[in-house]
């Protein structure tokens, strides 16, 4: 396994400044934003698709620093009931797939998307319970009329370009856990797998070890994000885990995203790394930073040091079946 970073973290740096910084910290890979919600601060997709010379310079800039591209990421909602948003995110996705094929990158990351509750909706509708029966009917309609047709079509598009998609399970979208991820893959095609991000699972009371094993068994473990979640026991005891307060209201939230090691300790992350090794994952551990209690520099450096230490131990067998 190699260590990388989701480069939109360094959107304030130029492309080459970002590469120098990442390589200087001893990482081996970058995950590049190519549209959707994160945007594309370092990757002008349209220009790279249109200009072979620019594409070659882009590839050389990465290769010359001893880095590789772990994935292109365009986290978006191509099923959004607002057609303008849906069309833009769909275009971002398909252009990312085309660019991945030109770059020789195997994986594009995005969300599954979430439709509205009907053809007349203006906003997405995430169903979280089966009753009253209206919710179950909405969920059936979403999958049968929107989700499955769209992703079946994208599976064919991916196969045409020799690229695969890593869906990131995320609450608010139709794929938010292992069960929904495996349903999407079974219904729509095997070029669809997962970008496994434990941070979205921790607060749902899911065990990442179980998820990694189940997804790997299905051949669906395509990419991995390293991000943590801190649970506030008192706030959770009072209000539960479904929390709509701002991520900036850290004191009152039930949970917040944290830098790796600051939500769950070394023992948990040892088990995660060991399990990835056991199931044969040999891809990149890509650092993602959304910790509102740390600056970008602090969060990245702490995550990199923490994970570099664990990966060194993994290589020499010190955390085998920790």
How many whole angstroms separate alpha carbon 112 and alpha carbon 107? 15
User: In which band, very low, low, confident or very high, does the pLDDT at 108 lie, cut at 50, 70 and 90?
Assistant: very high
User: In which band, very low, low, confident or very high, does the pLDDT at 83 lie, cut at 50, 70 and 90?
Assistant: very high
3-state secondary structure 90-147: HHHHHHHHHHHHHHCCCEEEECCCCCCCCCCCCCCCCCCCCCCHHHHHHHHHHHHHHH
Express each pLDDT in 242-257 by its tens digit. 999 999 999 999 999 9
What is the residue-averaged pLDDT of the chain? 96
Q: Is the pLDDT of residue 64 over 80?
A: yes
Average pLDDT over residues 100-116: 98
Q: What is the pLDDT of residue 322?
A: 47
Express each pLDDT in 260-292 by its tens digit. 999 999 999 999 999 999 999 999 999 999 999
Q: Is the pLDDT of residue 321 over 60?
A: no
Residue 307 φ/ψ, nearest 5 degrees: -75, -35
* Locus of tokens 């026991």: 233
Q: What is the pLDDT of residue 261?
A: 96
Q: Is the pLDDT of residue 319 over 60?
A: no
pTM above 0.85, yes or no: yes
Structural domains of the chain in order of their starting residue, each with its CATH number:
2-315 (3.20.20.150)
Q: What is the pLDDT of residue 314?
A: 72
Q: Name the percent of the chain lying above pLDDT 90.
A: 97
Tokens of 270: 């040892």
């Amino acid at each position: 396994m190699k260590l990388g970073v989701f480069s939109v973290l360094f959107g304030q740096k130029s492309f080459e400044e970002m590469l120098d910084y990442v390589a200087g910290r001893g990482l081996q890979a970058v995950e590049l934003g190519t549209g959707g919600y994160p945007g594309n601060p370092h990757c002008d997709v349209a220009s790279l698709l249109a200009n072979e010379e620019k594409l070659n310079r882009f590839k050389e800039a990465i290769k010359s620093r001893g880095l590789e591209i772990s994935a292109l990421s365009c986290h978006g909602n191509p099923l959004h009931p607002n057609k303008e948003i849906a069309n833009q995110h769909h275009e971002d996705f398909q252009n990312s797939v085309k660019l991945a094929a030109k770059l020789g990158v195997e994986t594009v990351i995005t969300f599954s998307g979430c439709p509205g509750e009907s053809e007349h909706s203006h906003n997405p509708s995430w169903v979280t319970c089966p009753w009253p029966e209206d919710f179950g009917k909405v969920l059936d309609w979403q999958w049968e009329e929107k989700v499955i047709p769209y992703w079946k079509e994208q599976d064919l598009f991916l196969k045409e370009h020799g690229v695969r998609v890593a869906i990131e399970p995320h609450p608010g979208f139709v794929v938010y856990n292992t069960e929904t991820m495996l349903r999407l893959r079974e219904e729509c095609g095997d070029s669809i797998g997962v970008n496994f991000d434990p941070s979205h699972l921790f607060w749902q009371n899911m065990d990442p070890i179980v998820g990694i094993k189940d997804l790997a068994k299905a051949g669906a473990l395509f990419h991995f994000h390293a991000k943590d979640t801190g649970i506030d026991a008192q706030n959770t005891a009072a209000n539960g885990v479904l929390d709509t307060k701002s991520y900036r209201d850290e004191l009152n939230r039930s949970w917040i995203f944290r830098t790796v090691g600051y939500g769950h300790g070394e023992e948990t992350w040892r088990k995660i790394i060991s399990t990835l090794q056991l199931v044969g994952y040999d891809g990149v551990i890509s650092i993602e930073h959304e910790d509102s209690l740390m600056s970008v520099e602090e969060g990245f450096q702490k995550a990199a040091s923490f994970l570099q230490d664990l990966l060194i131990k993994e290589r020499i067998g010190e955390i085998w079946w920790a």
